[in-house]
Structure 1
Amino acid sequence: MWAEGAGPRPLFGEDADAVVAAALAGDPSGMDRLVREYRLLRQVLDGARAGIALLDTDLRYLYVSPHMAVMNGVPARAMLGRTLGEVLPDVERPDEVLRQVLRDGRPRELILEGRTHADSPYASRVWRGTYHRLEEDGRILGLAGIGLEVSGPRERQRELSRTNRRLLLLDTAAVRVGTTLDVDTTCRELTGFLVPELADAASVELLPRDPSGGGRPDGGSGECAAGAAVRLRRVAVAAVPDLAPRVRALGAAGEYVEYQPGSAVRQSLESGEPWVGNFSSDEVLGRAAPSSGRVAAYREAGIHSGVVVPLVAQDRPIGTLTLVRAGDSPAFGREDVVVARTLAERAAASLAKAARFARERGMALELQQALLSEPTFPHDDLEVASRYLPSGTGVLVGGDWFDCLALPERRTLLVMGDVMGHGVEAAVAMSHYRSLVRALAASGQPPADILREADQVVLAGGLDRMATCLLVLVDRAAGRCVHASAGHLPAMVVGRGRGPFLVPVPVGPPLGTGFGRYEAASFPLEPGCVLMLFTDGLVERRGEDIDTSLRRLTGVELPVDGALPEFLDTVLAALGVARAQDDVTVLAARATERRS
């Protein structure tokens, strides 16, 4: 190839024009070099693992490398003289960009995507190609294109993107779904999150609960009766704006929907697995719908595909999550089903927890209200009113209690207590404390002694819940009140011509500690003054110092001449108890002239 002792002769050097001229002039060395370089160049073109093509100015194939022919699944000879659109109509190529390369000579890098005639593991193939302009003697001949298939890396990139999107959806759902212990709210949060993130419309249907508290497909036996429709309550539904009116017409939140045997919802409930399908025909849609009579409405709404995922808690179905897509939205894919199933599993756990808390809250509330509704009879020279408001934040009802006991010698004992904790156990413990204080008060002991003995009795009895308690003994004959506190907030007095103030009281430990050393104090209670006892739920707010909370209470302007129930309503409204995070109990008393 080169003379002995000489360096190698470069191939395709800058003297190409001279070599061609020499060959044309009959120079054997020039002809040999030209032939050798041509053969080597064909080896490069024909053997490259990249797709190489030459196009004329009309973007028709002039040359197609063997590898490109294999990628396309079309023989090279069959492609010559035709455009890409004619050879592979399912591959998108921006021809306008290629014409720009012809016009300005600047190379362009393009991404081509679509399907070819060759077998491929990828649903859609992707190539990265670079196009250069070909010129000869200032004349534009066409384009040279070199492309590599990047379907594998692009698919992995898409899979990573889908995974990241799925994780982002799940992370976002964790803070947006299940924020309360309310079943209906959780269902609304779930459907509201899924639309439009994953579906054009979404709904949650729950099975009726049987008397034992279990969710059953037929409301009782746990088996779906053959040939019978299953009735579910649509708890929540959401849809994109264009679809919302039609979706609501098919069943709004709060309505019951009956599902025929073999419907998508029934299949999902009975199998415990997701159902996914495209409604390719009215027959298919009629079988999947709650009833065949809904096909026309579904078609009018443009619904073309759906996913139904069972909501399962403690190995029992409690309902279903249904997602649909309509119009131009793509059909549901495998990744969509995975996300929907994961969200359904999380939502079912939240719904089961919310249902359990609702049952326990109802039991505790019924017990507490039954206990608090027992009649109390103060002396006729003391007017009394009370309010009990369970927390509205979703936690279980607490152990608040109050009492008003008429004692001999025109004395009345006012009681306000709060058992630590929430739920049925706290309500039961509250009943024990209430009965104990009543029994001790009947013995005629002063407030501090009642608290001291109650502390010892609770400790000895093994009651494992402590309680705070404030006792105020109103002695009308003496015109004074004696009070003692077991870890409870002080009473408030509102008098004529004087704003509200808290009455100082020595505070001992809560009842049940065994360390009870309680002291009493006294203060005057003039006729017309209002005395108010309350639990901490009235004033405490998360993140706020208790002294700040109490100052807010004493800063409320309160009339003392009106009815006591209106007095309490004014207090509750001024302190915004609807946002309280604990139960609120208040008891107001006003000394009046004794009736004959």
Structure 2
Amino acid sequence: MHAEASGRDAADDASTAARDSIDRAAAALATGGEELLRHVLTDAPVGLALVGPDLRWRWANPAFCRTAAVGPERLLGGAAAEAALAAAAPALDAVLVDGSPREPSAGHPAVPRLRLRARRLVIGGRTAGLVLAALGPAEEPRPPATGPDLPHELERARIRVAVLDAAAGRIGTTLDVDTTCVELADFTVPALADLATVELLAPEAVERGAPGGTLRLHRAAAVCTAALKPHLAPLARPGESVRHPEGSAVARCLRTGRPVAAPVREGSWPGSAEQAGPAAYRAAGLDSVLAVPLTARGRVLGVLSLARAGESARAFTEDDTLLVGDLAGRAAVGIDNARRYTRSQGIALQLQQALLAEPGNPHPNLELASRYLPSGTSSVVGGDWYETVRLPFGRTLLVMGDVMGHGVEAAVDMSTYRSMLRDVAGMDLPPHRILRQLDALISENESSRPATCLLALADPGRNRWTFSSAGHLPPALVLADRPTELVVVPTGPPLGTGLGGYEQQARELLPDQVLLLYTDGLVERRGEDIDASLARLAALRLPAAGDLDDLLDSVLHALTPEAAEDDVAVLAARVRRR
């Protein structure tokens, strides 16, 4: 017992010394100073080595070579030494992925087994590889037991959980299909492979299953290490289609719904759109390949393909296949969610555009122009709307509204509120009483979404505008050679709250004056105070005397960002000259 305790104490001392040395080694490597590297590392009593992100030996100090009983020339250039490191590849890959230090064992019949401590090395914000400390000889493997090797199984499970936990924070950060695919490919390179591609079946092919013969897929992502880029230029780029002949690894993977591993030399690896794939892979030194299906909710959406350069010792193992399979399964759910969301947003956009395309019915004494712009990703479509209602005595009611929330549900609510407004406006009530009636009707349904709304009653016969607002941004009045004026309108609560309390404000209607109504997507910016956003609109000098479409072009050009964060609706109105 005393001898065993002494052995454990010695091992603990070695581990502590290794941790201290590995911290100094990482700091020295990060500074890039050769003199510091020589003093701190070369003469260190603890064996230290540097391994690249491709898990190849890069450098080792004399103490490491003595512990491994291998000369520097055999360690840094020998196949046996590379094979010894490959034995610890799953644990080392996990360190590269999540950054948590680990103590794997590495060995080969020609190289003594070592117990190592591995830490990820980050230089300039990029993963440069691993720093390894030699803790001493590893315990000799025990004879095979009749039952499962529980410690080994637990370590494998722990590595998989750590990798998947790291992936959860980096894959599926948006509801955009291509972005999710790029995040998946980025996550696997260089930690798990030297090249990763993600290719998707067309939606109709997903529904009917993979057809026979040559497959054509959409390449959504392709990521490789810097060293491979010059050799892989002939391959199809993201956005292009890729053909996979029957019998290829990808075709077999999609047909069976199971992972397929194959060496490139078999000629079974996929080609590109120009069918230059196998030659490019061989020129880049890629040898081991793995195709894993992207399966979600019982349907195969596409395939994740990984490739590694180097000797057969870096071939994909059973542990690799299980880990990548779990990773692909989680990513596939994110891709499927993004596809479903994109499809629902497309329906919402079509519904909203169809509703807004319905012609209003203003009096001939009023000129109108309107625009609707969805956000750049169509991810926030559904709530903005406008309307015109013809009233007696030459009056026209102009409406601008914004239903809170987005998607199909918001577009449906928008259509409902629009119909309600037409019915209430037909009662020829003043604007503030129209809002009161709408608020009462909408609040009767507890599932209804609140909405902001601005009414502007144009009365050219009496030269008067009358405004009333339910939580909406103020209207703008534009005259030639004058600054844009934002009208101060008493603001009541949004529709659907049941609180009421709406007022109205009358303003003089001037000849050639343009009224501009808009939703918040035109002016609001994330992280900016709304007063600053409105001041930007008020500072515009707009072409009030020209065509109203030209005025809207000027407004949208000046205020709409390239990557719109919200959809935008605008409506311009002016009394028509007789």
- Change beyond 3 A, Cα 1:379–1:205: same
Report Cα offsets for 1:211-268 as digits up to 9, x if no partner.
Answer: xxxx63xx62x3654xx33332222223345544653534333333333444322332
Counterparts in 2 of 1:278 and 1:456: CA distance versus 1, 3 Å: same
Comparing 329-338 and 519-528, the one that deviates more? 329-338
Indicate which of 99, 109, 112 corresponds to 2:69.
Answer: 112
Single out whichever of 544-553 and 304-313 deviates more from structure 2.
544-553
| Pairing 1:177–2:134 present | no
Question: Once superposed, what is the RMSD of the aligned Cα atoms?
Answer: 3.9
Identity, % of aligned pairs? 49
Cα distance in 2 for partners of 1:588, 1:535 equals 12
Residue identity matched to 2:459: D
Distance in 2, matches of 1:463 and 1:298, equals 57
1:96-135 correspondence to structure 2 within 5 Å: 110-113=67-70, 122-123=107-108, 124-126=111-113
Q: For the Cα contact (< 8 Å) 1:530–1:588, is it kept in 2? A: yes
Q: How far off is 1:561 after superposition?
A: 2.7
1:125 and 1:151 in contact (8 A); partners too:
no
Instruction: State which structure, 1 or 2, has the greater radius of gyration over its C-alpha atoms.
Output: 1
Give the alignment's TM-score, normalised by structure 1.
0.68
Superposition deviation, residue 531 in structure 1: 1.3
CA spacing shift, 1:295–1:511, aligned 2, 3 Å: closer
Query: How much does 1:163 deviate?
Result: 9.6
CA distance in 2, matches of 1:164, 1:262: 35
Alpha-carbon offset, residue 445 of structure 1:
1.8
**Aligned in 2, Cα 1:127/1:531: closer, same or farther, shift over 3 Å?**
closer
Structure 2 spans left out of the alignment, 5+ residues: 1-56, 82-104, 116-134, 142-151
Task: Give the Cα separation in 2 of the matches to 1:161 and 1:580.
Answer: 47
Give the partner amino acid of 2:69: L
For 1:390 and 1:484, locate their aligned partners in 2 and report how far apart those are by CA, in whole Å. Answer: 26
* Residue 189 of structure 1 pairs with residue 173 of structure 2: no
Residue of structure 2 equivalent to 1:317: 300
Matched with 2:443 is 459
294 and 511 in structure 1: CA distance in 2 versus 1, 3 angstrom threshold: closer
1:389 is the counterpart of 2:377: no
Q: 2:234 aligns with which of 237, 249, 253?
A: 249
In the superposition, relative to structure 1, how do residues 460 and 166 fare at CA in structure 2: closer, same or farther (>3 Å)? Answer: closer
Question: Contact (CA 8 Å) 1:112, 1:126: kept in 2 or not?
Answer: no
Amino acid at match of 2:293: P
CA contact (8 A) 2:287 2:311 kept: no
- Aligned partner of 1:300 among 283, 295, 298: 283
Query: Counterpart amino acid of 2:294?
Result: L
Give the residue type in structure 2 aligned to 1:112.
Answer: A
Q: Distance in 1 between matches of 2:507 and 2:276?
A: 76
Equivalent position of 1:564 in the other structure: 548
d(CA) in 2 for partners of 1:267, 1:251: 20
- 1:92-134: CA deviation from partner (whole Å, max 9, x where unpaired): 9x9x969xxxxxxxxx964425879xxx994352469xxxxxx
TM-score (norm 2): 0.70
Task: Report the AA paired with residue 302 of structure 1.
Answer: G
1:273 equivalent to 2:261? Answer no
Deviation string for 1:117-168 (max 9, x for gaps)? Answer: xxx994352469xxxxxxxxxxxxxxxxxx9733569xxxx99999999778
1:463 and 1:512 in contact (8 A); partners too: no
Q: 1:286 maps to which residue?
A: 267
The residue correspondences of 1:427-438 to structure 2 (distance < 5 A) are 427-438=411-422
Residue pair 2:200, 2:219 contacting (<8 A) in 1 also: yes
Q: CA deviation at 1:170?
A: 5.2
Change (3 A) 1:110 1:366: same
Q: Distance in 2 between matches of 1:121 and 1:590?
A: 80
Give the counterpart of 1:200 among 194, 197, 220: 194
Letter in 2 for 1:476: P
Equivalent residues of 2:482, 2:541 under 8 A apart: no
- The whole-number CA distance in structure 1 between the counterparts of 2:477 and 2:340 is 41
Deviations 1:66-104 (A, max 9, x none): xxxxxxxxxxxxxxxxxxxxxxxxxx9x9x969xxxxxx
Contact 2:234 2:276 in 1 (8 A): no
- Partner secondary structure for residue 180 of structure 1: coil
Q: 1:530 aligns with which of 502, 514, 517?
A: 514
Aligned residues: 458
| Map 1:67-78 → 2, pairs under 5 A | none
**Does residue 530 of structure 2 align to residue 585 of structure 1?**
no
Deviation at 1:304, TM superposition (A): 1.0
**1:149 equivalent in alignment to 2:137:** yes
AA aligned opposite 2:263: N
